[in-house]
Amino acid sequence: MRNEEHKVSILDDGDESQLLKQYHELAELAGELAHEIKNPLSVIKMNAELLSEELSDTEWPGKRRAEAKIDMIGQQCQRLENLLRDFLRFARVRDLEMTPGNLNEQIDAVLRLYQAQADRDHIEILRYLDSNLPSVLLHSDSIQASLMNLVKNAMEAMADGERGQFIIRTYTTPRGVALELIDNGRGMDDATALKMFEPFYTTKNGGSGLGLPTARKIIQAHGGRISVQSEVGHGTKFVLEFPTPARLS
């Protein structure tokens, strides 16, 4: 598999402080703008639904065409609502309140959510979790949201092929702990691997392009890093690494 790694640039304290301040200001502004868009969007969607109900009680030559147009309005409103939801989640990843936790428990909880889908799509989930894995500082809800995105992508990559195999492995590293997510799905080319963490880049119809960028931001907010290896027709491997604070080692 070819390897594409995404690392955080190292800045001096002054530059980093200024960038963080600018980021927080921009994220706050973007969040407020998204809320302002969300409110009128909800009104449009609600009135489209009301108009559809009124049309259902009448009969006239252009009824079917009008209903089709109203359905299109509703679908696009829903698409924009999903986009705003993903964008707000992306913008809100800031300072998280961390507590000691076990990475095995986090990934196991996520895998249980996808077990029914794996059974339906004939995907075998293999767990190789280090029982002596040390604790790390984490925010459970955020880290599970990040893992859910990665697991969902892996499931989708294997759903339309032959019997899939999904390997999950945790182990200790010199700096902390690592989690590997390995699938034998369709994989991706170098161009896709290079862009996959860029906001709004997507290869899925109707996708927001914010799932993987949000997952990376969450991992970075934990002081960690994520890298990917992938090859078309052979599958993809994500490696997540998290530091173990000295007091938890």
Question: pLDDT in tens for each of the 249 residues of the chain?
Answer: 544 444 333 334 555 566 556 656 666 666 667 767 777 888 888 888 888 888 887 788 888 888 888 888 888 887 777 777 767 666 666 667 889 999 999 999 999 999 988 998 899 999 999 999 999 999 888 898 889 989 998 998 887 666 889 999 999 999 899 999 999 988 888 888 888 888 777 777 656 677 788 888 888 888 899 999 988 988 999 999 999 876 654
Residues 6+ positions from 34 with CB-CB distance below 8 Å: 84, 87, 88, 91
Q: Hey, which residues does 123 pair with through a beta bridge?
A: 164
- The answer to whether 13-91 and 99-248 have equal CATH topology is no
CATH node for 13-91:
1.10.287
Query: Distance of CA 180 to CAs 70, 71, 115, 147, 241, Å?
Result: 45, 42, 18, 11, 9
Helices (H), the chain: 13-56, 63-91, 103-120, 140-159, 190-195, 211-221
**Does the model's pTM come out above 0.85?**
no
Quote the tokens at residue 150. Answer: 């990665």
The third-level CATH classification (topology) of the domain covering 99-248 is Heat Shock Protein 90 (3.30.565)
Domain ranges for the chain: 13-91, 99-248
